[in-house]
């Protein structure tokens, strides 16, 4: 699996032979390698005893206890000037390494998140140690302003069980981490708050909500025998200095000199005449900008060769580099339609690479939900998609499914990051299916309908990305007249196979009641592929079907027997 994902990244971002860049997985590279080897052996020789969740947690916990502390440093980044924001990561890692141990065992770092362990048996000592770490980071980054500022920097930190933020396959669950931090933010407490991610509630928060600014008290000190000494400057009068006069000397000097008058030089008579030349008025503007080359003489019996015309198909769409966000690359996943038994759709899949870490799917967006950053990312995706569509020669019967964040889609035409796609011709825009992602439990039906209505003047087809473990039937009901499909990405849901059966059946029930298609993305194995088809998925894609492609491909008929390998 590791080599598979690395090959995708190399194809999109370009390979680097001297130094192989791998995603920062929080110290689980060795575990992932062993898991991939085990899966290969199972495929060849049958299933062996599976990897247990506690083995994965042991890699993260090391010698430490069972509790994990989750820190979001995005507030620190906002509180300091842009030029110093790059120092947040080194400062945090340096302090956590000193207090908690090496990266991968003592702490993990994913984007603005830091998950760490504290080696204390006593709960009070553990809590105080966590507060010490927060304050030490705050003082290192903000100095005295951290303690004496008019408004305290709110530092959300969640106390969670490791299994709440680490999946059974050992991957850090960014979605659950975001959820935990959001719950802590709502309490407005300073200091670790115990969070039950499964129940979506804060069970204990000891920090004070109130902020009392430190008052500066002026201390009156007895100066003793010391008294203030006033330094008096002696003013010097002007009359003590001799005034120098130059006027008399200048008048005497003038008498010794005579003024010389310069006469203008007489013009010599010209003994020659200039050659006649064409005046600039006779030369048109076009002749300067686009000079017509002299046509070569035709040679009898020799055919004149016409140079090949430059076409847009020769243009290679390059990844986009955004300041502070990294490199954005758009890939396409071949998607198979059940009804026609054909690969006739290509779903956009985005990668973001920044500071040695690779994010993909919905995890490409910043953890703090910064709308400006989300808009910049979606704008880069839209530009790349527009370039791809301009080069696709045959669009008949083909769908290009592009995921965009709901906050970007809610922006009106003047500010919309989808401007590049709006300029395409009607046929190209008709082939686009907009997949609305970034929907959370806090998203209201009015926000979803607003996102669709703001784009309906340019695009005709819309779908809603759902979280399989947290589906909102009421939200889908309100938007069902505007949307045509529901989708779910297994890579972001991180469901196990035995859960997938039940959750897909639930999604299928909702979609069928509103006559909508189901798109199941990110299928990782033949078992998941079979389950998706069994539960009525209309479109499927993922590593189990085909590898990611750098651009949309052809329409390919694939019978279901061949798909399942029968």
CATH of the domain at 111: 3.30.70
Give the structural domain span for 544: 314-564
CATH number at residue 432: 3.20.20.450
Alpha carbon dihedral 26, 14, 346, 3, in 10-degree steps, equals: -50
> What is the average pLDDT value for the chain, to the nearest integer?
76
Residue 226 in domain? no
Kindly tell me if the per-residue pLDDT of 454 is higher than 70.
Answer: yes
- pLDDT (tens digit per residue) in 129-166: 888 888 888 888 887 677 655 566 777 888 888 888 88
- pLDDT (tens digit per residue) in 338-366: 999 999 999 999 999 988 888 998 889 99
Q: For residue 54, what pLDDT is reported? A: 42
CA–CA separation, 36 and 21 (whole Å): 19
Beta bridge mates, 115:
70, 108
Kindly tell me if the per-residue pLDDT of 210 is higher than 60.
Answer: no
Residue 266 in domain? no
Q: How confident is the model at residue 28 (pLDDT cuts 50, 70, 90)?
A: very low
In our burial notation (b when 16+ CB lie closer than 10 A, e otherwise), range 524-557 reads beeebbebbbebbbbbbbbbbbbebeebbeebee
Window from 486-495, 526-535, 556-565 with minimum mean pLDDT: 486-495
- pLDDT (tens digit per residue) in 306-327: 444 444 445 789 999 999 999 9
Q: For residue 494, what pLDDT is reported? A: 57
Q: At which of 178, 205, 232 does a domain end?
A: 205
Q: At which of 151, 172, 205 does a domain end?
A: 205
More confident residue, 160 or 30: 160
Residue 217 in domain? no
More confident residue, 7 or 283: 7
Q: For residue 26, what pLDDT is reported? A: 44
Contact 191, 134 (CB under 8 A): yes
Q: How confident is the model at residue 557 (pLDDT cuts 50, 70, 90)?
A: very high
Kindly tell me if the per-residue pLDDT of 476 is higher than 70.
Answer: yes
How does DSSP classify residue 214? Answer: P
CA–CA separation, 103 and 99 (whole Å): 11
Q: How confident is the model at residue 20 (pLDDT cuts 50, 70, 90)?
A: very low
Q: For residue 57, what pLDDT is reported? A: 42
How does DSSP classify residue 313? Answer: G
Kindly tell me if the per-residue pLDDT of 335 is higher than 80.
Answer: yes
Residue 318 in domain? yes
Nearest Cα neighbor of 4 from 325, 488, 317, 360 is 360
Q: How confident is the model at residue 206 (pLDDT cuts 50, 70, 90)?
A: low
More confident residue, 468 or 148: 468
What is each CA distance from 90 to 85, 96, 114, 140, 490, in whole angstroms? 10, 10, 12, 11, 33
Residue 263 in domain? no
Kindly tell me if the per-residue pLDDT of 534 is higher than 60.
Answer: yes
Residue 284 in domain? no
Q: At which of 190, 205, 220 does a domain end?
A: 205
Distance in angstroms between the alpha carbons of the first and the last residue of the chain:
24
Same domain, residue pair 177 and 321: no
Contact 350, 361 (CB under 8 A): yes
In which element (H, E) is residue 98 found?
helix 88-100
Domain count, the chain: 2
Q: For residue 182, what pLDDT is reported? A: 87
Sign of CA dihedral 96, 102, 106, 108: positive
Number of H helices, E strands in the chain: 21, 17
Same domain, residue pair 342 and 196: no
Sign of CA dihedral 201, 194, 362, 557: negative
Window from 235-239, 266-270, 351-355 with minimum mean pLDDT: 235-239
Same domain, residue pair 340 and 471: yes
If you average pLDDT over residues 493-497, what whole number do you get? 59
Q: For residue 344, what pLDDT is reported? A: 95
Q: For residue 449, what pLDDT is reported? A: 94
Counting every residue, how long is the chain?
A: 566
Kindly tell me if the per-residue pLDDT of 4 is higher than 70.
Answer: no
In which element (H, E) is residue 133 found?
helix 123-142
More confident residue, 216 or 147: 147
Q: For residue 11, what pLDDT is reported? A: 62
Name the pairing type of β-strands 461-465 and 485-489: parallel
Kindly tell me if the per-residue pLDDT of 15 is higher than 80.
Answer: no
CA–CA separation, 369 and 287 (whole Å): 55
CA–CA separation, 431 and 421 (whole Å): 11
Q: For residue 75, what pLDDT is reported? A: 82
- pLDDT (tens digit per residue) in 75-118: 888 888 777 788 888 888 888 888 888 877 778 888 888 888 88
Kindly tell me if the per-residue pLDDT of 27 is higher than 50.
Answer: no
- pLDDT (tens digit per residue) in 375-407: 999 999 999 999 999 998 888 889 999 999 999
Sign of CA dihedral 478, 484, 488, 492: negative
Nearest Cα neighbor of 468 from 447, 494, 437 is 494
Q: For residue 99, what pLDDT is reported? A: 84
Same domain, residue pair 422 and 552: yes
pTM: 0.52
If you average pLDDT over residues 170-190, what whole number do you get? 82
- CA geometry: angle 113, 331, 179, nearest 5 deg: 25
Q: For residue 464, what pLDDT is reported? A: 96
Q: How confident is the model at residue 35 (pLDDT cuts 50, 70, 90)?
A: low
Kindly tell me if the per-residue pLDDT of 249 is higher than 60.
Answer: no
Q: How confident is the model at residue 463 (pLDDT cuts 50, 70, 90)?
A: very high
Q: For residue 240, what pLDDT is reported? A: 39
Residue 257 in domain? no
Q: For residue 432, what pLDDT is reported? A: 97
Contact 402, 434 (CB under 8 A): yes
SS3 488: strand
Residue 285 in domain? no
């Amino acid at each position: 699996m590791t080599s598979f994902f690395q090959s995708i990244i190399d194809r999109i971002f370009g390979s680097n032979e001297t130094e192989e860049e791998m995603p920062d997985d929080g110290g689980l590279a060795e575990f992932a390698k062993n898991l991939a080897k085990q899966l290969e052996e199972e495929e060849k020789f049958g299933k062996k005893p599976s990897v247990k969740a506690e083995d994965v947690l042991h890699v993260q916990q090391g010698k430490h206890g069972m509790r994990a502390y989750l820190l979001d440093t995005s507030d620190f980044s906002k509180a300091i000037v842009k030029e110093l924001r790059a120092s947040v990561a080194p400062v945090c890692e340096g302090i956590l390494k000193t207090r908690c141990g090496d990266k991968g065992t003592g702490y993990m770092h994913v984007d603005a998140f830091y998950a760490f362990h504290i080696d204390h048996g006593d709960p009070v000592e553990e809590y105080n140690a966590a507060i010490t770490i927060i304050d030490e980071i705050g003082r290192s980054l903000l100095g005295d302003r951290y303690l004496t500022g008019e408004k305290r920097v709110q530092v959300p930190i969640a106390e969670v069980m490791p299994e709440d933020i680490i999946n059974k396959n050992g991957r850090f669950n960014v979605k659950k981490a975001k959820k935990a931090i959001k719950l802590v933010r709502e309490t407005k407490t300073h200091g670790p708050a115990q969070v039950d991610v499964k129940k979506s509630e804060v069970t204990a928060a000891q920090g004070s909500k109130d902020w009392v600014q430190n008052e500066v008290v002026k201390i009156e000190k007895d100066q003793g025998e010391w008294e203030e000494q006033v330094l008096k400057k002696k003013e010097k009068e002007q009359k003590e200095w001799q005034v120098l006069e130059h006027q008399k000397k200048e008048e005497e000097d003038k008498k010794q000199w005579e003024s010389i008058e310069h006469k203008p030089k007489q013009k010599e008579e010209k003994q020659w005449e200039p050659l006649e030349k064409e005046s600039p008025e006779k030369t048109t503007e076009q002749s300067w900008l686009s000079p017509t080359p002299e046509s070569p003489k035709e040679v009898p019996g020799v055919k004149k060769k016409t140079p090949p015309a430059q076409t847009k198909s020769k243009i290679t769409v390059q990844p986009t580099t955004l300041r502070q966000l990294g490199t954005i690359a758009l890939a396409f996943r071949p998607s198979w339609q059940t009804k026609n038994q054909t690969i006739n759709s290509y779903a956009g899949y985005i990668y973001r690479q920044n500071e040695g870490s690779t994010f993909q799917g919905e995890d490409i967006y910043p953890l703090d939900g910064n709308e400006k950053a989300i808009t910049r990312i979606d704008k880069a995706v839209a530009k790349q998609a527009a370039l791809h569509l301009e080069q696709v020669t045959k669009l008949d019967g083909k769908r290009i499914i592009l995921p965009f964040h709901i906050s970007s889609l809610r922006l009106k035409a003047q500010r919309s990051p989808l401007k590049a796609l709006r300029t395409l011709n009607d046929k190209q825009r008709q082939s686009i299916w907009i997949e609305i992602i970034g929907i959370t439990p806090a998203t209201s039906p009015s926000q979803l309908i607003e996102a669709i209505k703001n784009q309906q003047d340019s695009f005709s087809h819309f779908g809603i990305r759902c979280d399989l473990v947290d589906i909102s039937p009421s939200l889908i009901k309100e938007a069902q007249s505007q949307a045509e499909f529901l989708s779910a990405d297994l890579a972001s849901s991180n469901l196990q196979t035995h859960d997938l059966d039940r959750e897909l059946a639930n999604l299928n029930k909702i979609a069928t009641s509103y006559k909508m298609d189901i798109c199941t993305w990110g299928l990782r194995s033949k078992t998941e592929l079979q389950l998706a088809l069994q539960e009525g998925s209309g479109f499927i894609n993922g590593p189990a079907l085909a590898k990611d492609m750098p651009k949309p491909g052809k329409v390919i008929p694939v019978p279901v027997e061949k798909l399942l390998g029968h």
